[in-house]
Structure 1
């Protein structure tokens, strides 16, 4: 009996002094933060409605509303006759972006390149060209090896502009970066093993780990990405088989990894004989980037790049470069998961690489995104944020006292969608509420308006944000 009492006494409790109006939402936010920060673990039974009402000097109805809000957020579950529990199983992760734009909402949540009518004109012109001279193999062949040799040659040419020299035989043409990432992870991380990655990383990694059966370990980062010593320590103590990195301005925190840091990570990977999966979907867009990690360690690095974020969103094609010893395994896993990339889109990408259109679109994008960064620097002049000159977004830590979920919800109520930072969280380390804001997903006028709304919310009293929801 004494041990049970002691155990109950050690369970985290909300602080009555931090309650603001409306009390139910303030209480829900406190409990949500405790869950996200690991102070309330999965499976923990929360206090009963009556017990917590007495402790907090609130009504039972207020506690009930707070628990209902936590159930709505998917953080707890109520079981009749048993009580309320932190969910032992997390719900399906929701993407940080809106699946579609709703009404007049200014969507700064989805990561997109800047697009203008010119992009649509170029797509239409290429489709018209293909209508006249589409290769028979692109429409009639069912065998990837019959279709893609020419496309792999063009891919090798494009990769030179990314700083990577490789054989066409090591290249797989994929339906974008996500397909390439998935196949690389299937190959490098067998079920039951662990993949290390940035503590704030790619939002699809958590569900992919669940679906593919590997474990995910988020490691400490700084402004250049993963700390080599942290990776060394993780490899020493655990079953790490691969490390997934985003070294060139595409990570949520817009890290840009220098040449020395890349070399240090390669040294650790070689020491422990682990694979490296390098997500470089901005490729040649980032002019200040050091050579790819794959150029330093081709024997163990899976290199992923694509055209979607740097040319036109509809050009959903990418390249996966595999080390020699994994080429056959990559081909087999690509066959069972995708069969092959879409030949028509691959044909478009190849022609654009060969005639220089792809490079022109990248150059145009670089100029356009520089202009978007100038707008962000002007509108958010009073707010520190993280970015790179060619990143498609900024990462913004919220001021102390601002609850991330409430801030994102209030921005949405005022007509602006932004991505909650929690969606990119991989580690259970202490968390700073943050948001990711896309710069390319809308017009310059809407971007300026949306950033202006965010800037005003940043200056607001956190209590007023809660009252307004």
Structure 2
């Protein structure tokens, strides 16, 4: 059988994704048959003239997409189309009731939101003002939506004038709007060394340079940020100070204060992603409250209230608000007024706060489950949220560990999925305990992971 070497010459984007795209295309056309054993990732790297980290990351992503499976001691193989129940919809966000246990997606619980949203939608249907929400608007037309955003921001610990609040279609749209509004092609965007992966895709799409700011176990290092500011000219620094994804670290007050000072000194815009902030019971002061003139604050109801409620708010320095309004208008013309109305009513009558408390209760319950099964020693940073950071024991590689979990029908995310530079990724795994609605499935998945942790890596034979 011929050895599979992908042709990447006509593809664009990150090299590891080019490999995955070529693989998916060749599987779909039959050029790469199911059951085919692929070259070890280091040998493929040699054949392609790329780094082993690139091919390792490509294989890990292909396992995550259910294109490949790794078998300990044997190698990496193209999955059989009929062997995996998830193969038909590898990218589906549906909550599984059977098949592989998905601990890779960081989504909150949806179950208890339906009754509240059903009630609010019924109230809106009876409202004489419904017609205005079915017409074209700008995000400045309905002031009471921004007033609701002001209330939500206050609950997040951020004070704001109405003119500085920009409604958006969830946190991800908010981040994209900020980058579109404030950065030009070629500008340098900094982010934590391990970060929210879509931000890197946004930076690439907007032709931005990207720089990784070093971290330790307590989060991003202020001195590393200052070194970038001193040696380069970053325009903005995107970071998640609270319940950082993927590491769960929460920056101390001291580090926040120092980062705020550095940003003010060098004129760098801080983009504070705080979508997980409402889940944190003892959250430190937001950067937007410490240095409001240099920070754009991003919050959302999707992580803390209901995942399908795609509503968020930006809080901008007054001098930047107009640019952000324009970016929202450019990208979606208007944040849908009807969805904003649902969110606004939930915020105004206190239901959103109660729904957040429910999310917090479930998060605490599932975090206790993690500690009971994996042990406190395995989890260096206990989390108030729905994700868990799991450094692997010595000898384990994250891609091999992820592949072994996938073989046992448990999906996890390895650190390289979040690394700005794959070579800097630690051997660690992120687990998410809320995508699975059935707690018994979460427990079973954690027990399988505990079993894999007890295995002894067998050195080079385990490398995929």
- Report the TM range for the smaller structure's normalisation: 0.7 to 0.9
Identify the range of structure 1 (383-392 vs 350-359) with the bigger mean alpha-carbon deviation.
Answer: 383-392
What is residue 100 of structure 2 aligned with on the other side? 105
Aligned residue runs from structure 1 range 152-171, under 5 A: 152-171=146-165
Q: What TM-score results when the alignment is normalised by the length of structure 1?
A: 0.79
SS of residue paired to 2:283? coil
Identify the range of structure 1 (118-127 vs 298-307) with the bigger mean alpha-carbon deviation.
Answer: 118-127
Q: Out of 362, 384, 407, which is 2:356 matched to?
A: 362
What is residue 441 of structure 2 aligned with on the other side? 446
- 1:129 shift after superposition: 2.5
What is residue 196 of structure 1 aligned with on the other side? 190
Rounded Cα–Cα distance in structure 2 between residues aligned with 1:388 and 1:352: 30
2:211 matches 1:247 = no
What is residue 305 of structure 1 aligned with on the other side? 299
- 1:367 shift after superposition: 1.2
Q: Any conservation in 1 of the 2:104–2:432 contact (CA below 8 Å)?
A: yes
What is residue 268 of structure 1 aligned with on the other side? 262
SS of residue paired to 1:159? helix
What is residue 86 of structure 1 aligned with on the other side? 50
Aligned residue runs from structure 1 range 456-467, under 5 A: 456-463=451-458
- 1:381 shift after superposition: 1.0
What is residue 25 of structure 2 aligned with on the other side? none
Q: Any conservation in 2 of the 1:250–1:281 contact (CA below 8 Å)?
A: no
- 1:351 shift after superposition: 0.3
2:136 matches 1:141 = yes
Rounded Cα–Cα distance in structure 2 between residues aligned with 1:320 and 1:382: 36
- 1:121 shift after superposition: 2.2
Kindly provide the CA deviation profile for residues 134-183 of structure 1, in whole angstroms up to 9, marking residues without a partner as x: 6222112344432x311001110111111111011111110000011111
Rounded Cα–Cα distance in structure 2 between residues aligned with 1:330 and 1:231: 25
Structure-2 change in CA distance of 1:191 and 1:417 (3 Å)? same
> How many residues align structurally?
402
Q: Out of 347, 351, 365, which is 1:353 matched to?
A: 347
- 1:241 shift after superposition: 1.0
What is residue 206 of structure 1 aligned with on the other side? 200
Structure-2 change in CA distance of 1:127 and 1:301 (3 Å)? same
Q: Any conservation in 1 of the 2:218–2:249 contact (CA below 8 Å)?
A: yes
- 1:289 shift after superposition: 1.0
What is residue 333 of structure 1 aligned with on the other side? 327
Rounded Cα–Cα distance in structure 2 between residues aligned with 1:151 and 1:388: 35
Q: Any conservation in 1 of the 2:139–2:167 contact (CA below 8 Å)?
A: no
Q: Any conservation in 2 of the 1:188–1:275 contact (CA below 8 Å)?
A: no
Q: CA RMSD in A?
A: 3.2
- In the alignment, structure 1 segments of 5+ residues that lack a partner are 1-23, 29-39, 42-63, 79-83
What is residue 51 of structure 1 aligned with on the other side? none
- 1:68 shift after superposition: 7.4
What is residue 288 of structure 1 aligned with on the other side? 282
Rounded Cα–Cα distance in structure 1 between residues aligned with 2:306 and 2:244: 17
Rounded Cα–Cα distance in structure 2 between residues aligned with 1:161 and 1:365: 15
- 1:206 shift after superposition: 1.5
Structure-2 change in CA distance of 1:156 and 1:401 (3 Å)? same
- 1:461 shift after superposition: 2.1
- In the alignment, structure 2 segments of 5+ residues that lack a partner are 6-14, 17-35, 66-89
What is residue 411 of structure 1 aligned with on the other side? 405
SS of residue paired to 2:270? strand
- 1:114 shift after superposition: 2.7
What is residue 392 of structure 1 aligned with on the other side? 386
Structure-2 change in CA distance of 1:283 and 1:136 (3 Å)? farther
- 1:389 shift after superposition: 3.7
Q: Any conservation in 2 of the 1:224–1:261 contact (CA below 8 Å)?
A: no
2:373 matches 1:379 = yes
Structure-2 change in CA distance of 1:409 and 1:320 (3 Å)? same
Structure-2 change in CA distance of 1:302 and 1:196 (3 Å)? same
Q: What TM-score results when the alignment is normalised by the length of structure 2?
A: 0.79
- 1:335 shift after superposition: 1.2
Q: Any conservation in 1 of the 2:367–2:383 contact (CA below 8 Å)?
A: yes
